[in-house]
Amino acid sequence: MLTQSTQSSSAFAPSEAEADTYKRDGYFIRKSLFSPDEVANFRDYARQRLEAEAASDKVMAKGDRDGRSTLLKMWNSAGDDKYGMVARDERLVTLATAAIGEPVYLYSHKMTMKQPHEGGAWEWHQDFGYWYNYGCLAPQMMSIYVALDKSTRENGCLQVLERTHELGRLNHERDADGQTIVQQEHLDAALTRFKHIYVEMEAGDALVFHGNLLHRSDANRSDTYRWGYICSYNAVANAPFKRVRDYGNFEELKVVPAGSFQTAS
């Protein structure tokens, strides 16, 4: 449960309104978490390198039901490069610590890249729906999505079902395209009972959301990019009891000052 942070007196801690919104709805938007200069620094660096990696098959392509693909790059740990420094930025860590309510570590971090006219859809799911299968017992987990481009309905912005974090972990299954999705009958019921929100964001805004919040995104049918950087955090006490993946296992989180990533390479 998100509260005004008792772990830090930082100016980056959630406001009372943000804390209340998170508790009620399972998410909130932190406007302008990154400044325009910070967004440009990170986005331009990532765009140049990851598009080159995609051309040489060093980036994953996740398909959808219509044959479109979203590019995905995941890192197993947070080092001293620009990606790792963003994941360890005190602004994100302060929000994550407040959301979970106890000391945290970085569970995973990744870039999702919806290219113009190509980026595919992600079906409805809870992140904890599959993290549970990776040895995490409790939903003391959450994510922060930082928009690196303007995110709109046209280019496949994130969507959420408000308050579905209160449902607990729903059963999930693997579909033919390799996505882990919530079972259809539970989804159909949830869609009739909970408010469906398109989370449109400006570049630099951040969506802070609970690990049990149902969310998805449509394909990018526009001529604009829709890239986002997602950092997921877990309570230290909730570290996996077994090793299933190369990521998600406990490593001490070494926090860095806000904006330090701008000078990293």
Q: Is residue 259 part of a domain?
A: no
Give the CATH number of the domain where residue 178 resides.
2.60.120.620
Contacts for 12-19 with beta carbons within 8 Å, 24 or more apart? 12/90, 12/91, 12/94, 12/95, 12/258, 13/94, 13/95, 13/98, 14/95, 14/98, 14/99, 14/208, 18/208, 19/98
pLDDT digits (tens, 9 = 90+) for 233-257: 999 999 999 999 999 999 999 999 9
Q: Is residue 26 part of a domain?
A: no
Q: Is residue 207 part of a domain?
A: yes
Q: What is the pLDDT of residue 11?
A: 84
Q: What is the pLDDT of residue 76?
A: 87
Q: How many structural domains are present in the chain?
A: 1
Q: Is residue 166 part of a domain?
A: yes
Residue type, 233: Y
Q: What is the pLDDT of residue 7?
A: 41
Q: Is residue 11 part of a domain?
A: no
The two three-digit tokens of residue 220, written as one number: 């990018």
Q: Which residues of the chain have pLDDT under 70?
A: 1-9
Sign of CA dihedral 170, 173, 174, 177: negative
Q: Is residue 257 part of a domain?
A: no
Q: What is the pLDDT of residue 178?
A: 83
Q: What is the pLDDT of residue 4?
A: 37
The two three-digit tokens of residue 89, written as one number: 């930025």
What is the secondary structure of 6-18 as a DSSP string?
SS---TTSPPHHH
pLDDT digits (tens, 9 = 90+) for 122-132: 999 999 999 99
Compute and round to an integer the Cα radius of gyration of the chain.
17
Q: What is the pLDDT of residue 158?
A: 98
Tell me the residue range of the domain where 215 lies.
42-251
Please state, in angstroms and rounded to a whole number, the distance separating the CA atoms of residues 141 and 128.
7
Q: Is residue 6 part of a domain?
A: no
Contacts of 190 (CB under 8 A, 6+ apart): 161, 164, 167, 182, 214
Provide the whole-model pTM: 0.94
Q: Is residue 72 part of a domain?
A: yes
Please state, in angstroms and rounded to a whole number, the distance separating the CA atoms of residues 34 and 30.
10
